[in-house]
Structure 1
Amino acid sequence: MEEEAFLVASEWETRFIVLADIEGFGLRSDSAQHVLHKDVYDAMEAALRRAGVDLDSMQTSDRGDGMLMLLPPNLGMTVLLREMVRGLDDTLIEHRRRHSEAYRMRLRVGIGSGQVMRQGDLWTGRAINELNQLVNADQVKKRLKGVEGARMVFVVGDHLYHQVVQGYHAGIDPAVYESFDLVTKHQETLRGWLTLPGFPTPDVTEAGRSHGGGPVPEVPAGAGGSPVNFNSSGTNYGPVIQGVNIQGINLGR
């Protein structure tokens, strides 16, 4: 029994986790779903190549309306964030220009890291589950839906936000991120941070920008989520992270 436990434990791997979902995929026609399924792969792979990711070093799991990507842990997080987000936004701008409304896509994208295990064609792990819950939170969906012309909403977990974004490293602006809390079905509270590249945050004022700390939104007992508490101000030009190469840090929860 001890030998079996050891063998199972040795299969856990630390990976960067990227999750992408297409907004409203199930409401599209069969032909649109066919096109968008291919397009989201092309868009994500182009963005990751721009970030310097060797596509042969990552594993991909199809999700129907999107994809799960597991990247090697030795990547620089700041470079990955900056180039992936910029590259993906550029690709979506071009995609929007070339397609009619019926074939355009808007994405919910999240990044995190943690321990994962492969089981056949599937990958499991708490870090994957938590990122999936954040990316699919009602607050994230409503935020994207409420901004006409937005191409994507980008989400990071609380640990990554505090380790990287709120550290005020060169080129990082925490004010473009908005906090939200999610209560899971197990009554655990997850905090996430979202941004819409190229679009202003709510409550823009002339007084300046907040530092993105934010009070904890009230969460009704037993609720499956809570309204997002927008407390940042300023103009959101997307995450701009440069000058710092963070490696060897566990950015998962």
Structure 2
Amino acid sequence: MAGTGRHAVHRTMVLVDVEGFGAPTRTLPHQLGTRAGLYAVVGEALASAGVPWDMCYHEDRGDGVFLLIPPEYPKAPLVEVLPEALARAVRGHNTTSHDAAQARLRLAVHAGEVAFDEHGVTSTALTRGFRLLDAAPLKTALADSPGALAMIVSRLIFDEVVRHSATVDAATFRPVEVTVKEVQDLAWISLPDHPYQPDYAVLSARPPAPASLDTAQGAPAATGKDADVGGDGPGNGGAGCRRVSIAGGVHGGGSGITIGAATGDHLTVGSSPVPPAPPPAGEPKNPS
């Protein structure tokens, strides 16, 4: 599977994390028991969704695991079958485990391009999957639920899979804004073993408006000493005009000022030039 060279390939991503894995009550033997249970329940849930464990690329995350599902396996069972099967398997694990080895899980499902190398796998899409798994609304949803599992799906999975499902009621999902590091987007949360009441009004939720480039990079608003002149925005002459950030000195006064830009260029900004005085009476006017 890893022999794809440097070319990215499409994969569905299933990411699972154990709530409170590092709690003081979990000793090392308890952590080992929790991890063994995690792999067992994820494998069982995948099989219920028709996906063999051995066909998936997977990596351990200490308190969790992520899997890349080959493209020949459809996405729908991963949101229609796997979540309930996973919750059911977790409850079975908990009934036979020490209290400190029991588990509740967060689940994220996303899809996108990934690239393999000698160290493993990486991509922007995979990073987004981990941001979803770490989102505060997902942690809150699980903490507030009596169930064993909280699931978050990306906007892509919700729009392309959940909305069209004849098995899962999309109205039992809840839209949340995920803001984790560089990610700001709409995602959807469900509680497979303790579902929200259907609310069809939520289906019209829209993603948050993206921040402007300057705002996203933390740049201050333009001031009298940091302005754009001749940019390609509305009213600035359109594409092809130079964008000048004024960083030099400002000289002169009255009807015009001269700006010394950081590049060493100079630009005079002011009102229209004052026309020359008319010649004295009796002298011929300049034919030009």
In 2, distance between residues paired with 1:170 and 1:217? 24
1:209 aligns with 2:199: yes
Give matches, 1:167-246, under 5 Å: 167=164, 169-186=165-182, 188-201=183-196, 209-213=199-203, 215=205
Structure-1 residue corresponding to 2:60 = 62
The TM-score normalised by the length of structure 2 is: 0.66
Give unmatched runs, 5+ long, in structure 1.
Answer: 1-6, 224-253
Q: Give the secondary-structure state (helix, strand or coil) at the position aligned to 1:197.
A: coil
Please state which structure has a larger fraction of its residues in helix: 1
**Percent same amino acid at aligned positions?**
26
Q: Give the secondary-structure state (helix, strand or coil) at the position aligned to 1:154.
A: strand
Q: Give the secondary-structure state (helix, strand or coil) at the position aligned to 1:181.
A: strand
**Aligned letter for 1:34?**
L
In 1, distance between residues paired with 2:206 and 2:116? 35
CA separation of 1:52 and 1:180: change in aligned 2, threshold 3 A: same
Segments of 4+ in structure 1 off by > 4 A? 214-219
Q: Give the secondary-structure state (helix, strand or coil) at the position aligned to 1:114.
A: strand
Q: Is the 8 A contact 1:174 1:211 kept in 2?
A: no
**Aligned letter for 1:194?**
I
**Aligned letter for 1:189?**
Q
In 2, distance between residues paired with 1:82 and 1:142? 23
In 1, distance between residues paired with 2:207 and 2:161? 22
Structure-2 residue corresponding to 1:123 = 121
Give matches, 1:25-174, under 5 Å: 25-27=21-23, 28-147=26-145, 149-167=146-164, 169-174=165-170
Task: Identify which of structures 1 and 2 has the higher relative contact order when contacts are C-alpha pairs closer than 8 Å and 6+ apart.
Answer: 1
**Aligned letter for 1:72?**
P
Q: Is the 8 A contact 1:174 1:212 kept in 2?
A: no
**Aligned letter for 1:192?**
A
Q: Is the 8 A contact 2:179 2:185 kept in 1?
A: yes
The TM-score normalised by the length of structure 1 is: 0.74
CA separation of 1:44 and 1:200: change in aligned 2, threshold 3 A: closer
**Aligned letter for 1:114?**
G
Q: Is the 8 A contact 2:49 2:77 kept in 1?
A: yes
In 2, distance between residues paired with 1:37 and 1:214? 39
In 1, distance between residues paired with 2:180 and 2:134? 12
In 2, distance between residues paired with 1:193 and 1:21? 17
Q: How big is each residue's C-alpha offset from its partner over 1:13-34, in whole Å with a ceiling of 9 and x where there is no partner?
A: 2111110000011112211111
CA apart distance, 1:211: 4.5
Q: Is the 8 A contact 2:6 2:116 kept in 1?
A: no
CA apart distance, 1:218: 8.0
CA separation of 1:9 and 1:120: change in aligned 2, threshold 3 A: closer
